[in-house]
Every structure is written in C-alpha cells, then in structure tokens.
Amino acid sequence: MAISLSLEDNVVVERQKQTIKPPPMYQVVLLNDDFTPMGFVVMILQKYFRKDQKASIEIMLKVHCEGRAICGVYTRDVAMTKVKQVTTHAKQAGHPLQCVMERT
C-alpha cells in the first residue's frame, strides 16, 4: 500500500511497505564412496554438524545405503563453510569423502 503526501512545493513522497524475505536455504549433503571409513564419517558429523552419536550413525548408514544424506540445512555462507571444512578435513586425512550443498 502506497501513501502519497503532498508538500507545499508540490513534491510527492511515497511510502511503500517493505517486505523482507528470509534468505535462501541450502542443504549440506554427504555423498557415498567406497573408501572413506564409516567411523571417519561419524566423526565428521559429530565435529562439524554437532550431531550426537546416534544421529551420526543413522546419517552415516543412510549415506552408505542410499548414496547420500542431508547433514543439515543452512544459509548460503554457513553451508559453504561446512562444505569447505568437511572437504578440507577429509582431504588432509587422505579420504575422498565428498560434501556438497544444494539449494532447497
């Protein structure tokens, strides 16, 4: 809804209602491979996604059985940071674990 105000010098000022949209969200997904140890995946889930042991094991088994699993949903910058942390840690440990982000 726009409100028009007329001032003495014939200037019209309009006030428009601003709508703020929530930021787009991104899923962080772990992908299965045949080489990364299951225990390493559980550790990654606990360390970077703050999952408890039960949730970490469930997610790890989903990755193993279904080929992929969502670890969390975050804003773009947080999701990018998580992907970078996981891939860097896996690479340093000599594992080919892949972590990607997908817009929800």
Q: Return the higher-pLDDT residue of 47 and 16.
A: 47
Q: What does pTM read for this prediction?
A: 0.81
Q: Is the pLDDT of residue 48 over 80?
A: yes
Q: pLDDT band at 16, cuts 50/70/90?
A: confident
pLDDT in tens, 76-92: 999 999 999 999 999 99
Q: Say what the pLDDT of residue 94 is.
A: 98
**Rounded Cα–Cα distance for residues 7 and 16 (Å):** 17
Q: Say what the pLDDT of residue 6 is.
A: 53
Would you say 71 and 41 are in contact if contact means Cβ atoms under 8 Å apart? no
**Rounded Cα–Cα distance for residues 88 and 98 (Å):** 10
Q: Say what the pLDDT of residue 100 is.
A: 98
β-bridge partners, 4: 14
For the chain, state the CA radius of gyration. Answer: 23
Q: Say what the pLDDT of residue 5 is.
A: 55
**Residue the block writes with tokens 């080489």:** 35
pLDDT in tens, 1-15: 455 555 566 767 777
**Rounded Cα–Cα distance for residues 85 and 79 (Å):** 10
Q: Say what the pLDDT of residue 9 is.
A: 63
